[in-house]
């Protein structure tokens, strides 16, 4: 079991949003602490995103509440009022200001909270939550996830830890955040440093995962720092936070709806990091690349196609590009029949690496995704309002 960092407790319960499993999670510190968050840029952003953005104008928070299986999006003024009532209710139970409570919701869009059940769930929230299990909290925020996503790392040179939980397996193409992720640390980090570090790490991890090219209305990633373990080295904290976010990123990609194979795409030799990420995303997002991986077909032509779609990058020249599956070059070097058979066996593994060198400069980026299966279609065809 992974415990929360010192200075944090949680409350996990079923309040009737889901039929049988936990659907209501509150993660709380003993007092307002430095906090930061990044959110979707969707023009249909949900009330949870709106309220949390408002509350982080002062970069401190004491609690995070997550409602699972109901996104509370596209419900007009009623949905916003419901979110504010939820936050105020949690704040009242914890004895803090409503502005010190952040909120995230995930699930079906266009359906209001079951307000009476929410009220009853809030009324049952202990004034001082007593659970310290990150695993319990991670299970409580799941929707179509097949396993709870938890990661932790020690901050070198200190007793501080970083612990993260996340949910998300579909509607994932992040835009300054992704899915729902909550990171907690007992390192003593000031609000400004926490925000800058978090945004930098998110851009290298959560913003590098894609399941289906669809950006959620509810994307939220937040971090709170209790300070209970004292000051830490900034570089060591950055490294620990990166390790946790990267682990969660790979879990999300591996657990993509219907997924059977984790795809890692690395682009090197790019003009700059933005170009490298753009090309890598074009590859990992391609339905034809995804289905080729699913079918264990080493069809490098589909990778070439995905690179070529980046038509605004006029410095990409096909005679300088190198494409690899695993460590095997497939373009421009030709692969014989025996090599193709070996590549087919490689593509049947649980993880597939696709490498592309653009031959322009020295920038690089790595992104993660998954194959496209009939299971993805079935899950989303049956996922209804």
Would you say residue 178 has pLDDT above 50?
no
d(CA 8, CA 226): 7
Would you say residue 330 has pLDDT above 70?
yes
Would you say residue 176 has pLDDT above 50?
no
Provide the 10 A C-beta neighbour count for residue 347: 21
Give the range among 168-172, 194-198, 234-238, 245-249 with minimum mean pLDDT: 168-172
Say what the pLDDT of residue 253 is. Answer: 84
Where do the H-state alpha helices sit in the chain?
A: 47-55, 76-94, 115-123, 134-140, 191-204, 234-254, 273-285, 287-294, 300-308, 337-347, 374-382
Give the range among 143-147, 170-174, 356-360, 369-373 with minimum mean pLDDT: 170-174
Query: Comparing 297 with 143, which gets the higher pLDDT?
Result: 297
Say what the pLDDT of residue 383 is. Answer: 59
Looking from the CA of 233 toward its CB, the CA atoms found within 13 Å total 9
The residues annotated as belonging to the active site are 178
194-243: pLDDT as tens digits: 999 999 999 999 988 876 666 778 889 999 999 999 999 999 999 999 99
Would the pTM of this model clear 0.95, i.e. be above it? no
Would you say residue 95 has pLDDT above 90?
yes
Say what the pLDDT of residue 177 is. Answer: 42
d(CA 337, CA 352): 20
Tokens 């590859």 belong to residue: 283
Would you say residue 379 has pLDDT above 70?
no
Say what the pLDDT of residue 67 is. Answer: 96
Would you say residue 369 has pLDDT above 70?
yes
Would you say residue 377 has pLDDT above 80?
no
Quote the distance between the C-alpha of residue 253 and its chain's center. Answer: 9
Say what the pLDDT of residue 384 is. Answer: 60
Query: Comparing 384 with 127, which gets the higher pLDDT?
Result: 127
Q: What is the mean pLDDT of residues 107-132?
A: 94
Q: What is the mean pLDDT of residues 157-172?
A: 86
338-368: pLDDT as tens digits: 999 999 999 999 999 999 999 999 999 999 9
Would you say residue 58 has pLDDT above 80?
yes
| CB neighbour class for 112 (10 Å; exposed up to 12, middle 13-18, buried from 19) | middle
Q: What is the mean pLDDT of residues 293-319?
A: 96
Give the range among 61-70, 98-107, 214-223 with minimum mean pLDDT: 214-223
């Amino acid at each position: 079991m992974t415990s929360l960092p010192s200075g944090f407790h949680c409350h996990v319960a079923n309040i009737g949003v889901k039929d049988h499993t936990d659907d209501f999670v509150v993660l709380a510190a003993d007092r307002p602490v430095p906090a930061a968050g990044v959110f979707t840029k969707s023009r249909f952003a949900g009330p949870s995103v709106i309220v949390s953005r408002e509350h982080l104008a002062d970069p401190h928070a004491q609690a995070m509440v997550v409602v699972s299986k109901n996104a509370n999006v596209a419900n007009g003024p009623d949905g916003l009022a419901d979110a504010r009532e939820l936050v105020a209710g949690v704040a009242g139970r914890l004895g803090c200001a409503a502005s010190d409570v952040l909120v995230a919701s995930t699930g079906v869009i266009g359906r209001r909270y079951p307000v009476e059940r929410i009220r009853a769930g809030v009324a049952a929230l202990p004034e001082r939550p007593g659970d310290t299990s990150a695993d319990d909290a991670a299970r409580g925020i799941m929707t179509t996830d097949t396993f709870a996503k938890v990661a932790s790392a020690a901050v070198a040179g200190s007793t501080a830890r970083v612990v993260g939980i996340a949910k998300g397996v579909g509607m994932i193409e992040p835009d300054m955040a992704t899915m729902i992720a909550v990171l907690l640390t007992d390192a003593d980090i000031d609000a400004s440093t926490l925000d800058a570090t978090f945004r930098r790490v998110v851009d290298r991890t959560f913003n590098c995962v894609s399941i289906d090219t669809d950006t959620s209305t509810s994307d939220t990633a937040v971090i709170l720092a209790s300070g209970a373990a004292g000051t830490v080295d900034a570089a060591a904290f950055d490294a620990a936070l990166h390790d946790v976010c990267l682990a969660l990123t790979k879990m999300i990609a591996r657990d993509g709806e219907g997924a059977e194979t984790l795809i890692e795409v690395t682009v090197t030799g790019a003009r700059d990091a933005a170009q490298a990420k753009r090309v890598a995303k074009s590859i990992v997002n391609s339905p034809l690349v995804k289905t080729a991986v699913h079918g264990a077909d080493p069809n490098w032509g589909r990778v070439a196609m995905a690179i070529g779609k980046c038509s605004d990058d006029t410095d990409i020249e096909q005679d300088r590009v190198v494409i690899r599956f695993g460590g095997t070059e497939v373009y421009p070097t030709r692969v014989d029949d025996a090599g193709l058979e070996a590549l087919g066996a490689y593509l049947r593994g649980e993880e597939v690496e696709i490498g592309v060198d653009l031959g322009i400069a020295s920038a690089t980026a790595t992104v993660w995704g998954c194959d496209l299966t009939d299971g993805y279609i079935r899950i989303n065809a049956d996922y209804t309002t």
